[in-house]
Amino acid sequence: MDIYALSDLHLSLAIEKPMEIFGAVWHEHWLKIEKNWNETVKDDDIVLIPGDISWAMSAEDAKKDIDFIAALKGKKVLLRGNHDYWWDSVSKVREAFKEVLFIQNDVLFAGNIAICGARGWKTPLDESFDKKNDEKIYRRELIRCELSLKAAKSTGETVFMSHYPPVLKDGQSTGFSELIEKYNVKKAVYGHVHGSENFKNIFEGTKNGVSYSLVSADYIGFKPLKIYDSEEKIWL
């Protein structure tokens, strides 16, 4: 059981939302995802999908997108992103889509590995942070992040996924990264960031014992990134 991650699928199989406006690399990107995914992932592997899954506005419209994901190889664990408006509540999406797994401020276990997650938010160090509009959401997401991490009762085999970057350019700490370190997470994956002009502003690598990876689809070539090798029992 290897673990992979791929974020920001931005599927729109039931609605008209052409992604080519964000660059030629997005042309028929769902076909790239399908091909790369099924050539990479095995049936007993796990794939983490930290947000911006579907452009749908309702669960009914998201069905084609979730069915597409469900038909791919492996077990899928979905986390809500800022554009997942179809995601009403975790209880409702779990009831509607039983073929995939959902995580929202809680934890799932795969053997001795705990899979945690919270959406996250922009932080006070972000240039676009608006104290009036963002402070309350940021504080709320910190609470949700810690709820998930507490539920894991980490033994050192914890992976954390968030939609927003939990650590900033040049490894600047945030409230999220401080919690991730506090609860002994070994691997953290995130999405949300797109475009070559923005990729230079992300942090990847190891900071205070935590390995961070950006797994936005266009950043990793629309191919799930292996983050845990079960044969070697190491985080990548």
* Mean pLDDT (the chain, rounded): 93
Can you give the residue ranges of every domain in the chain?
Answer: 3-235
Percent of the chain with pLDDT over 70: 99
pLDDT score of 160 more than 70: yes
CA dist 163 and 76 (Å) reads 16
The secondary structure of residue 233, as a DSSP letter, is T
CA distance 186 to 158: 6
Question: From residue 217, how far is each of 35, 111, 144, 153, 156 by CA, in Å?
Answer: 13, 27, 25, 30, 28
pLDDT for position 191: 96
Residue 99: is it exposed, middle or buried by C-beta count within 10 angstroms (0-12/13-18/19+)?
Answer: exposed
Query: For residues 22-44, b (16+ Cβ closer than 10 Å) or e, as one string?
Result: eeebbeebbebbbebbeebbeee
Q: Tens of pLDDT along 53-102?
A: 999 999 999 999 999 999 999 999 999 999 999 999 999 999 999 999 99
pTM over 0.85: yes
- Structurally, at CATH architecture level, domain 3-235 sits in 4-Layer Sandwich (3.60)
CB 79 within 8 A of CB 51: yes
Neighbours of 12 (CB within 10 A): 18
Q: What is the mean pLDDT of residues 8-33?
A: 88
